[in-house]
Amino acid sequence: MNGVAPSRRISAVSPPAAGAQGEDGPLALTAQQALWLELNQFYIREAWLLDERKLKQWLDLFTDDVLYFMPRRKNVPRRELHRELTPLGDLAILEEDKRYLEMRVARLETGMAWAEDPPSRTRHLIGNLEARRLEDGEVEARTAFLVYRSHLETDHQLLSGCREDRLRKVDGAWKVRRRMIVLDANVLLDKNLSVFL
């Protein structure tokens, strides 16, 4: 947990972590720490769903009004870094709603989505979580990822980047309602981008 033991006996405002025990009795977490744990668990769960190809369950982690967005990343001089990411409305690598995500997942099940048949072997490593609760009850969370993809015989790629998510609770479960994926690449070195990030 951030590599630092939480302060003991500080009562959590909300929600308390269930069952955490310290040497001196029950361990209380700050609301911020509890949120961090909850979201960390969310992202670990998501990574396993993706790597185990349980994509229909993965789709349930998104709200019905989700925007799944991956801008392009340009080479610009340091003094013009505000132009590095292409804004929404310019051509993006992905600008998908739930319906498009559903189509992408359904496509794989036809047995004729050749980019992923046989499927890629992926490993999603998600880390560097930072989370912040917003006034409207939503949460802003960003994470860094390394995704390894191995395909067919010897094709392999390492995708590195970050996700900036907006999440909200729907029926007691966190769901992503906006995801911006920023790749650390200008020209993608991959033959295609057929795995989910």
Partner 1 sequence: MAAVREYAVIDPVTGKLDRRIFSDQAVYDDELERIFGRAWLMIGHESLVPAADDFFHTYMGEDPVILTRDGAGRLHALLNMCRHRGNRVCRADDGNAKRFMCSYHGWTYRNDGALDHVPGESEAYYGALDKSALGLVEARVETYAGIVFATWDRNAPDLDAYLGDARWYLDTVFNRRDCGMQALGPMKWLEPVNWKTLVDNCSDNYHVPTSHLSSALVQMRWLGRPRLSHEDQFASPHRHAFVNGHSLTFRDADDGMPRYVHGISKETARLFEEYHRATLPEVERRLGALRARRIQLANHSIFPNGILGLRLALPRGPRKTEFWHFVLVERDMPEELQRAIRIGSQANNGAAGMFEQDDVDNWRQVTEASVSRRARRLPQDLSMGLGHAGPHPDYPGLVSERYISENNQRLFYQRWEEFMNAPDWARIPLAPMTARFDGTATMRG
Judged by CB, which is closer to partner 1: 45, or 72?
Answer: 72
Judged by CB, which is closer to partner 1: 19, or 111?
Answer: 111
Shortest distance (Å) from residue 119 CB to partner 1 = 12
User: What does the alpha-carbon distance between residue 73 and residue 51 come to, in Å, rounded to a whole number?
Assistant: 26
Judged by CB, which is closer to partner 1: 76, or 125?
Answer: 76
Say which amino acid occupies 36. Answer: W
Judged by CB, which is closer to partner 1: 55, or 108?
Answer: 108
Q: What is the dihedral of CA 42, 35, 14, 11, to 10 degrees?
A: 130
Shortest distance (Å) from residue 154 CB to partner 1 = 11
User: What does the alpha-carbon distance between residue 32 and residue 39 come to, in Å, rounded to a whole number?
Assistant: 11
Shortest distance (Å) from residue 125 CB to partner 1 = 21
Calculate the CA 18 to chain-centre distance: 25
Q: Are 10 and 28 in contact (CB under 8 A)?
A: yes
User: What does the alpha-carbon distance between residue 89 and residue 49 come to, in Å, rounded to a whole number?
Assistant: 30
Residues that bind partner 1 (CB under 8 A): 70, 72, 74-77, 80, 83, 89-96, 99-100, 102-104, 106-108, 110-115, 152, 186-194
Judged by CB, which is closer to partner 1: 38, or 116?
Answer: 116
User: What does the alpha-carbon distance between residue 197 and residue 195 come to, in Å, rounded to a whole number?
Assistant: 7
Shortest distance (Å) from residue 155 CB to partner 1 = 8
Look-up of token digits 């505000």: 82
Shortest distance (Å) from residue 64 CB to partner 1 = 14
